[in-house]
Amino acid sequence: MTQSKNKVVIFLGPPGAGKGTQAERLAHEQQLLKISTGNILRDHVARDTELGRQVKPILDAGQLVPDQILIALIRDKLASMDNVRVIFDGFPRTQAQAEALDVLLEELGAPVNAVPLLEVPDQILIDRIVERGRQAAAKGEAVRSDDNEETARKRQQVYREQTQPLIDHYAARGHLYTVDGVGSMDEVYGRILEGMK
């Protein structure tokens, strides 16, 4: 596995900051696989797998899924790739997850390249999440169980408490850079690319 072909980008930012949208675009333009543990977990819940039944009550309560479950999911995904060209969206969320991911990436010879941190004021985040739920309902789509104000506020609080050590972890390694997440999608995307140079 040659390191030059590997690329690992980790998007950080609170729920509703637009990580998913921006990660999707970057993945498409740079031929990277976007790994969203949230999507993988929601898929298991929707398919009513054993794992899905295990994590559904945790997700519904706005809590975080245990590290060993997430690391196992990611190890499984990365081990099957010839070149590790990925974007992580919503993972890692804790210092322990970051350290486990560092070990796994080192084993695979694919170090972290960049960690953009999207920053958006709290009230804008809450409004975005509630609006996302409203739009899904208006289109007759399934509304995510966490797209409501109460759960959104709880998730912001959990994010703040648990993610600060993560921000420090990647800042200390020189991978982290902050991105103003307010503005048009193109403006924010431009800032992300600028920071990756």
20 belongs to an annotated ligand binding site: yes
121 belongs to an annotated ligand binding site: no
88 belongs to an annotated ligand binding site: no
Q: Where are the alpha helices (DSSP H) in 80-176?
A: 95-107, 122-138, 149-172
15 belongs to an annotated ligand binding site: no
191 belongs to an annotated ligand binding site: no
3 belongs to an annotated ligand binding site: no
109 belongs to an annotated ligand binding site: no
Return the structure tokens found at 162.
């648990």
173 belongs to an annotated ligand binding site: no
118 belongs to an annotated ligand binding site: no
Cα 169 versus chain centre, distance: 16
13 belongs to an annotated ligand binding site: no
190 belongs to an annotated ligand binding site: no
174 belongs to an annotated ligand binding site: no
Nearest Cα neighbor of 175 from 115, 102, 119 is 115
Cα distances (angstroms) measured from residue 124 to each of 18, 63, 154: 11, 22, 15
Return the structure tokens found at 118.
């999207």
33-36 and 85-89 beta bridge pairing: parallel
183 belongs to an annotated ligand binding site: yes
**190 φ/ψ angles, rounded to the nearest 5 degrees:** -60, -40
62 belongs to an annotated ligand binding site: no
155 belongs to an annotated ligand binding site: yes
Q: Which residues are annotated as a binding site for AMP?
A: 37, 42, 63-65, 90-93, 97, 144, 155
Q: Which residues are annotated as a binding site for ATP?
A: 16-21, 132, 183
Q: Which residues are annotated as a binding site?
A: 16-21, 37, 42, 63-65, 90-93, 97, 132, 144, 155, 183
